[in-house]
């Protein structure tokens, strides 16, 4: 059941769990007392914030494309002349496998990759 969950989904699961616990202060107070509930809610807020920053940093366009490239069943991604700088840079990077400019757009993709 959990073998196909991505890293992004696990981080979202942690954020959701922390949000749930952080919002359940009345129940936590009954279970752990006022001090325990405060510590748990504070820890959940801290973990949720850190996980959110991690999620933001790891879900950019290049990370998403690399995740798709790593999927079984993906042979190759052809990038056309309309690609932005991030995608073009991946397409022309010789260290990244299974992605390349389409044959009719090589010059434009290279130019896109060099643009700022």
Q: pLDDT, tens digit, for every residue of 45-95?
A: 999 999 999 998 888 888 889 889 988 899 999 999 999 999 999 999 999
Q: Are residues 36 and 79 in the same domain?
A: no
Positive or negative, the CA dihedral 75, 110, 83, 4 is positive
Integer Cα distance of 89 and 100 in angstroms: 10
Q: Which residue has the tokens 């309309």?
A: 82
pTM of the predicted protein model:
0.64
Residue 21 lies in a domain: yes
Q: Is residue 24 part of a domain?
A: yes
- Tally of structural domains, the chain: 2
| CA distances in angstroms from 29 to 42, 45, 107, listed in the order given | 13, 16, 64
Residue matched to tokens 């973990």? 47
Do 13 and 53 sit in the same domain of this protein? yes
Cβ-contact 21, 46 below 8 angstroms: no
The answer as to whether 92 is a domain residue is yes
Which structural domain, as residue segments, surrounds residue 52? 7-58
14 and 44 inside one domain:
yes
């Amino acid at each position: 059941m959990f073998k196909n969950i991505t890293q992004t989904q696990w981080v979202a699961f942690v954020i959701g769990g922390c949000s749930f616990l952080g919002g359940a202060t009345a129940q936590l107070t009954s279970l752990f007392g006022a001090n325990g509930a405060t510590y748990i809610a504070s820890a959940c807020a801290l973990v949720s914030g850190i996980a959110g920053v991690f999620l933001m940093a790891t879900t950019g366009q290049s990370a998403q494309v690399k995740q798709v490239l790593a999927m079984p069943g993906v042979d190759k991604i052809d990038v056309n002349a309309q690609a932005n700088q991030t995608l073009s840079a991946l397409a022309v990077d010789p260290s990244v496998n299974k992605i390349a400019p389409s044959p009719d757009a090589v010059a434009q993709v290279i130019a896109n990759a060099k643009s700022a």
